Amino acid sequence: MVTVHGISFPDPRPETIVEVEGDPVPVDAFAETLYGIASDFEELADFAWTASRPGARPWIGDDADAYATSAESVQTDANTLQTGMRRVARAVTIHAQVLEELRTLRDQLVERRAAANSWRTSLIGELRAMEEPLHPITRSGYENAAQTLRDDYGELVSDHAKLKRELRANDRTMNKAFTTNQTLADIAAANDASAALAGNALLKNGGPMGLLFRSPEAAREWWEGLSAEERHALLVESPEVIGRMDGLPADVRDEANRILLDEQIAGLTEKQEDGTISPHEASVLDNAQHVDDAVRQVEKYVDPLTGEHPPIQLWMYDPEKYGTDSGSVAISIGDLDTADNLAVRVPGITSDIDGISAMTRDATNVYEAARFNGNGENSVASMIWLGYDAPSGITDPATLTEHRAEDGGATLANDIDGLRASRADNPAHLTLIGHSYGSTTAGHAAGDHDIDIDDLVLVGSPGGGYSDVGAYDMDGDNVWAGRNSRDLVGALGDHGDVSPGRIGAGLGRDPAEDKFGGQRFTAEDPDRNGWHRGIEAHGNYFNEDSESLYNIGRIVDGADEYVVHADHVHDPWFGGPEDPEIDRDPVETPDTGEVTYK
């Protein structure tokens, strides 16, 4: 302790920050190897099962019976080994993920300790340069600073102790996974114990198989009430359940979904290389690789204000939902559990897992715009949500009906409820963004269900699902439309009073029209050419340095006062719709930041 002019400053604590040994990259690679071995055992079990069937044996008699018995024994052992190897591989994946989190936590502790030490040195130096007596106000200020410094060091000590506990727990869990699998009998016993622990946890009230499982709120309470051992067992035994469970923290869902993703890629790649992969499995592998590519690319993104990589979360992952031609996935840039502002974007027609990298780049642009033009204090999470069966294209009959939008809206509403429930104690400002047919889907989520959103943004919309904002049970000031005057799709919404629902695409009124009752923001292309409408402008709403992206970023950040408004479309009774934006000269390219990957 150092005392200057009667004011005591604490010694720096802790003296050192524990090292986090180990590199998650080779650990992950080891897990992939184990997944491949598990796949080999699975193939062996399938072969042995086939060989044990009566029709598979070209002979009969005692020799045939002995062969069948031997094959059945091999099948049993191979299944045991496959289950055990997959369980250990999943434990290794979890170990790598936790290791990465602990490395990040250690880096943060080092930075906090350095900042506290620097401030302490500065305060002591300032005081030593002063002469007695100190002015009462000056003395009070330095005494308060010394107390804050004591509090900061106290928090550092507490967080450092937590880091050490989690390091030990992570090591113990990994050590147990290896040491309890020495013999075939050990593996069988460990398989049974892990499955029993997870199964009992699933049956608890609030869990997926419990008596009181009714809501995302119940799921959250259930997860919070589980022990660390039960949570680990569930991630190992039932990642497909945990990864899709509304109400659970986003980082938990991410952990479970990454286990599934890594396992599928490793196991199916093994089958692809040895020529045993089926057409269905090949499609699943293709979807999984697209998701993996998108995640790996966005993990290189750098936050414009901190210069660091924000958390990337695989919030939803099901490569077979709606068939392997589509799939279901949601990826967030930013931490959905803690961010001050959340943006959830719903894409439109032709959207499937094949295009998830491009959609993730758009979500990154939204994150960048909200951060770059924000106040620098609000954290952001921007998620691309592909959780519905989007029509496959303009020629798909589903494009001209609202059925997919209605079904997707119900799913979207459930997922929004899950997001809200997962952080009920720390609610965020949430903006729902719908693009193209996704705007119709978002409109039905808002209009058909009681969803808790702060702002609704509809861009390039062929119709918002309804004739006015009254259907959304939202204030019109919080419903926004962005429509490029050259966007053909954006002109397909219903207009005027004559037969609404049949004049346009039949997907609801154009949300940029005055009679819809919402607000419209500028969304023109600064470098547009000609006056004709086309498809090209339809895909530009999330482009860097565009009017649309600038305004979306402001809305996501909760800074509505900076949104640049545009005059509404108007449809007089004596003529067709009139868009005043057609003749407006777009402003100089607004600065939405420069997305950087490294």
Q: What percent of the chain has pLDDT over 90?
A: 51
CB of 217 closer than 8 Å to CB of 205: no
Buried residues in 427-443 as b, exposed as e (16+ CB within 10 A) = ebbbbbbbbbbbbbbbb
In a domain, 24, yes or no: yes
Q: Please give the Cα distance from 331 to 327 (Å, whole number).
A: 13
Q: Which pLDDT score, from 0 to 100, does residue 376 have? A: 78
- Rounded to the nearest integer, the mean pLDDT of the chain is 87
The pLDDT value given to residue 398 = 66
Q: Establish if 277 belongs to a structural domain.
A: no
Domain boundary among the residues 132, 150, 179 is at 179
pLDDT grade for 450, boundaries at 50, 70 and 90: confident
Per-residue pLDDT tens for 21-34? 889 999 989 999 99
If 0-12 CB within 10 Å is exposed, 13-18 middle and 19+ buried, where does residue 561 land?
A: exposed
In a domain, residue 143? The reply is: yes
Burial 205-235 (b: 16+ CB within 10 A, else e): ebbbebeebeebbbbbebbeebeeebbbbbb
Backbone angles phi, psi at 587, to 5 degrees: -70, 170
Q: Averaged over 165-182, what is the pLDDT?
A: 86
14-18, 279-283, 323-327, range with the lowest pLDDT? 323-327
Give the whole-angstrom CA distance, residue 275 versus residue 15.
Answer: 57
Question: What pLDDT does residue 107 have?
Answer: 92
Are 491 and 532 within 8 A, CB to CB?
no
pLDDT value for 529: 65
Which of residues 179, 201, 223 is at a domain's end?
179
Residue 151 lies inside a defined structural domain of this protein:
yes
Query: What pairs with residue 534 in β-bridges?
Result: 487
Domain boundary among the residues 179, 195, 214 is at: 179
- Residue 223's pLDDT band (cuts 50, 70, 90): very high
Question: Would 74 be classed as within a structural domain?
Answer: yes
Structure-model confidence comparison of residues 467 and 459, the more confident one: 459
Contact between 36 and 273 under an 8 Å Cβ cutoff? The reply is no
For residue 166, what are its two tokens?
């989690």
The model's confidence at residue 503, banded by pLDDT at 50, 70 and 90, is: very low
Average of pLDDT values for 198-205?
Answer: 90
Domain shared by 571 and 427, yes or no: yes
Of 352, 356, 354, residue with least CA distance to 333: 356
The DSSP symbol for 338 reads T
**Domain count of the fold of the chain:** 2
Q: Note every long-range contact of 397-403, with CB atoms under 8 Å and residues 24 or more positions apart, other chains counting.
A: 399/349, 399/437, 399/505, 400/505, 400/506, 400/507, 401/506, 402/440, 402/444, 402/465, 402/506, 402/507, 402/508
Q: What is the pLDDT of residues 401-438, one digit of tens each?
A: 778 888 999 999 999 999 999 998 999 999 999 998 89
Rounded Cα distance between 593 and 161, Å, is: 39
Whole-angstrom Cα distance, residue 365 to residue 370? 9
Could you tell me if 149 and 10 are in contact, meaning their C-beta atoms sit under 8 angstroms apart?
yes
pTM attached to this predicted model: 0.85
- Mean pLDDT across 316-329: 84
Residues 147, 152, 154, 157: what is their CA dihedral angle, to the nearest 10 degrees? -160
Q: Spell out a b/e string for 59-84, using b for 16 or more CB atoms within 10 Å of the CB, else e.
A: eeeeeeeeebeebeebbebbbbbbbb
Nearest alpha-carbon partner for 382 in 427, 452, 333, 423: 333
What is the pLDDT at residue 99? 92
Q: Does residue 190 lie within any of the structural domains?
A: no
> Do residues 272 and 285 touch, judged by C-beta distance below 8 A?
yes
| Per-residue model confidence (pLDDT) at position 384 | 97
Q: What is the pLDDT of residue 591?
A: 77
Alpha carbon dihedral 174, 175, 177, 179, in 10-degree steps, equals 170
Q: Are 239 and 202 in contact (CB under 8 A)?
A: no
Burial 475-487 (b: 16+ CB within 10 A, else e): eeebbbbbbbbbb
- Minimum mean pLDDT among 2-6, 55-59, 160-164, 539-543: which range? 55-59
DSSP state of 475: -
Selected residue with higher pLDDT from 527 and 288: 288
pLDDT at site 535: 67
* Helix/strand/coil for 175: helix
Residue 334 is which amino acid? Answer: G
At residue 296, the pLDDT reads: 93
For every residue of 349-392, DSSP letters joined together read TT--GGGHHHHHHHHHHHHHHHHHTS-SS--EEEEEEE-S----
Report the b/e string of 267-285 with b at 16+ CB within 10 A: bbbbbeeeeebeeebebbb
Local confidence band at 501 (pLDDT 50, 70, 90 cut-offs): very low
Closest residue by Cα to residue 89 from 26, 32, 171:
32
| Residues facing residue 386 across a β-bridge | 329
Say which range, 386-395, 437-446, 451-460, has the weakest mean pLDDT. Answer: 386-395
pLDDT recorded at residue 575: 65
- Contacting residues for 52 by C-beta, under 8 A, at least 6 apart: 68, 71, 72, 75
Judge whether 267 lies within some domain.
Answer: no
Amino acid residing at 531: W
Domain that holds residue 70: 1-7+20-179
Position 345 scores a pLDDT of 97
CATH number at residue 345: 3.40.50.1820
- Residue 282 tokens read as 């090949």
Query: Comparing 132 with 338, which gets the higher pLDDT?
Result: 338
Strands annotated E in 405-554:
429-435, 455-459, 479-482, 519-521
Encoded amino acid at 182, one letter:
Q
Question: pLDDT tens, 361-402?
Answer: 999 999 999 998 887 789 999 999 999 988 776 666 666 677
pLDDT score at 250: 96
Mean pLDDT of all residues in 222-235: 94
Q: Are residues 167 and 315 in the same domain?
A: no
| In the predicted structure, residue 130 carries a pLDDT above the cut 60 | yes
Q: Is residue 185 part of a domain?
A: no
